[in-house]
């Protein structure tokens, strides 16, 4: 096995065994702000597999997202529905996609490359978002990521162009059974009109 495989196994065992290091880390993360810029990724193996490089122009941010379906206002007018449609309503986006959008709003000059799950407890989930500075010379000269510097990738996370965004839009499926999701679910209905 390579070195990153051992790093990944160590990270997973700390989480599953609830080691003392894991508990201390969780306490400090709970007390900290919801979006934090990091010096280096917590899980290097996951970050490297998703395109992170330890060079200038690459930034990692950790984002805390509340678990659950979120708050929904109770209906105040008209007829009273039986359950009022308040509890157990799932969001239209995944938690990971919401975390990417919050990181993008915090660091407005950076573009989101990818993200990955780090940790969770009963109340929160934490994701680490890999971000790139499209105007940095080190990024513009790197053939692996210089595509993100072009104008058509601007605000890509808000348009659902990241991996988590595409998954939520159903675009990871191709071929049979996925005929009605391109260019989008609403866009497909408008095609014949």
Give tens-digit pLDDT for 148-179. Answer: 999 899 999 999 999 999 999 999 989 898 88
Work out the average pLDDT over 136-158: 93
Token representation of residue 102: 């919050």
Average pLDDT over residues 16-45: 90
- Averaged pLDDT for residues 94-118: 96
Omega within 30 of 0 (cis) for the link into 183 = yes
What long-range pairs does 21-24 form, CB within 8 A, spacing at least 24? 22/119
Phi-psi region of 111 (alpha: psi -120 to 50; beta: other; left: phi over 0): beta
Going by C-alpha positions, the residue among 105, 110, 70 that lies closest to residue 90 is: 70
CATH H-level superfamily of 3-152: Ribosomal protein L15 (3.40.1120.10)
> What ranges do the domains of the chain cover?
3-152
| Residue 53 exposed, middle or buried by CB count within 10 Å (0-12, 13-18, 19+) | middle
- In this prediction, residue 83 has a pLDDT band, given cuts at 50, 70 and 90, of low
Question: For 26-35, what is each residue's pLDDT tens digit?
Answer: 999 999 999 9
pTM of the model: 0.86
Name the residue among 78, 116, 84 with its Cα closest to residue 99: 116
Q: For the residues of 108-164, what is the DSSP string, one character each?
A: TT-EEEEEEEEEE-SSEEEEEEEEE-TT-HHHHT-TTTGGGGSGGGTTTTTTT-SHH
CA atoms of 78 and 81, how far apart (whole Å)? 9
Rounded CA separation 127/164 (Å): 12
CA distance 118 to 129: 10
Task: Please say if the pLDDT value at position 190 is more than 90.
Answer: no
The distance of Cα 86 from the centroid of its chain, to the nearest Å, equals: 26
């Amino acid at each position: 096995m390579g070195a990153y495989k051992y790093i990944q196994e160590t990270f997973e065992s700390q989480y599953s065994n609830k080691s003392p290091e894991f508990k201390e880390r969780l306490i400090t993360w709970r007390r900290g702000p919801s979006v934090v810029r990091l010096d280096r990724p917590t899980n290097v193996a996951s970050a490297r597999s998703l395109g992170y490089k330890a060079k200038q122009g690459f930034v990692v941010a950790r984002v805390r997202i509340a678990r659950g379906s979120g708050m929904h206002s109770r209906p105040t007018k008209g007829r009273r529905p039986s359950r009022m449609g308040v509890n157990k309503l799932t969001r239209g986006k995944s938690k990971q996609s919401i975390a990417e959008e919050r990181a993008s709003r915090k660091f407005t000059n950076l573009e989101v490359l990818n993200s990955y799950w780090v940790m969770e407890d009963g109340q929160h989930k934490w994701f680490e978002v890999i971000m790139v500075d499209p105007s940095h010379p080190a990024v513009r000269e790197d053939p692996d990521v210089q595509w993100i510097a072009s104008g058509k990738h601007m605000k890509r996370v808000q348009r659902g162009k990241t991996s988590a965004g595409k998954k939520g839009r159903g675009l990871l499926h191709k071929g049979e059974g996925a005929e009605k999701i391109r260019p989008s679910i609403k866009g497909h209905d408008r095609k014949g009109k």
